[in-house]
Amino acid sequence: MNSEITLLELNLFIKFEDFPYLGIFKHLDANELDKLESFATKIFYPEEMFTEVIYKEVNAIKQKLQSRIKFPNHTSFLLTYKLSHYLAVPPTIVDYSLRVQARLNTEKGPYKGSNYEGLTEACCLVATLKLMWGLDSHTKHSYPIDKFGNLNLELWSELIRRCWLMLPEYSNLDDRIVASWDKPQMNNYMDWFHQNILEDRQEVDQKFCTLFPLLKHKRTKKSLAKLKSRLPTEHNLDAIRKVVRNSIFDMTEKLPDKNRVECGKIYRSYSNTRDFADDESISPIIKTLYFVVELLLGVKLETFMDTLTVLEHNLEKGTELYKQKRLQIARPFKGSTCSLANLAATQVRCGSSLSALAYKTLQRNKKRPLLPKIEPPSWSRDAAISSILYETPVPKIRKDQTHVLQCLVQNEPGVLARVSSALAGRGFNIDSLVGCFIAICSSTLIAFQHFLA
């Protein structure tokens, strides 16, 4: 496939939802619009798409991001363009959110409607929630953007990979890979881009509808009008709650009284963003989520916290139902009075599967082995030699048996004196061994620090 874009395709592509940030079309006056058809045969190659307008748009995005995010000093324009591309072109968080806005405001044109203001804001939040929820496995205080706006490149790359619904060969893209692409590799990527975005939209739309089940049947004017008639325009918050409940949870039909959401204030209110960022009771993923949606989508903290309250309420109800269902399955017979720990032990003996609750109970009541002694045993001369030559395990597996090797590296007094002569007799040079080990550790540390820099 030829990796060329006509001027008409490029401008239509930018005008209708697919390239919303790089708004070339809005810079064309009426005369230029009339002349557009006559220029339909003009060809734009990928390397020629850096027009003055795009350059200004990308730099505007970069300045907006740099006001909140600390980028490395060596970030080139190509990488900045690619980052802006991430934020503007499907299937990233911002594009999904803007697609939702465009589809809901189809009758008045993209981003011009006002009746769906609260609803589109909720959809933006839903999109980010769906795409970021998988980052909860990171440790405390490990999230892409901290309260000072600094960017953790490693976690940010992980976030981008989770949001990038591409073919397998494009699933692990990062700035360094793209920067090293030659022209054929870039053309191959553009071929894929044209095939899935410009020519065949069925697969992309299918993935899009999978993420947004609420919008699967909300594309015609009739259905949009029906949706509009059901929206309480003066109560956007209720619309937000409804969208969050229906969009995030595919198990909504399993929740009791699904048409009614009762909310309690689980999250307290904050006077400013800094108080929210300093609150250690809020998990890192929630903080990350807010910083991203506030930075990229302009979601207010009050709306964000209220939506999380609804989300927490639905999660709590869903979890209780799940626990009840698992407990019913785990009971050997109706009316059983056996304890959960005995039930778990019985299931283990019978080889049957455990419920999550029963497994946790069994593990909690299980006798744990004694922790190893912190102080290593005293080594005799023969034991030290034997351990170094024959029995030294991999350090990550059994750290308690690598004490002698650590002593060698740290030049602990007495150890070298005990084993140096015997090792030298077997052909080992202690100085070379220690020097080599230290050199390897130093080079690894330098390489790691260079990677982090």
In the predicted model, what is the mean pLDDT of residues 233-239? 43
Give pLDDT, residue 126: 39
What kind and span of H or E run contains 297? helix 284-297
What are the tens digits of pLDDT across the range 403-453? 545 555 455 445 555 555 565 655 555 555 555 555 555 544 444 444 444
What are the tens digits of pLDDT across the range 174-193? 434 544 556 666 556 555 54
Separation of alpha carbons 174 and 42, rounded Å: 32
In the predicted model, what is the mean pLDDT of residues 20-37? 42
Give pLDDT, residue 157: 43
Give pLDDT, residue 276: 78
The residues spanned by each domain of the chain are 5-248+285-297, 382-452
**Of the segments 124-138, 206-220, 270-284, which one has the largest average pLDDT value?**
270-284
b/e map 167-191, b = 16+ CB within 10 Å: eeeeeebbbeebeeeeeeeebebbe
Cis peptide before 232 (omega within 30 of 0): no
Count CB atoms within 10 A of the CB of residue 201.
Answer: 12
Separation of alpha carbons 430 and 423, rounded Å: 7
Checking if the pLDDT of 17 tops 50, the result is no
Contacts of 301 (CB under 8 A, 6+ apart): 270, 273, 276, 290, 294
Count CB atoms within 10 A of the CB of residue 436.
Answer: 11
In the predicted model, what is the mean pLDDT of residues 133-159? 39
Give pLDDT, residue 305: 72
Strand segments, DSSP code E, in 25-81 are 43-44
In the predicted model, what is the mean pLDDT of residues 9-32? 41
Give pLDDT, residue 293: 53
Give pLDDT, residue 69: 42
Separation of alpha carbons 11 and 201, rounded Å: 17
What are the tens digits of pLDDT across the range 95-144? 444 443 444 443 333 333 333 333 333 334 334 433 333 333 333 334 44
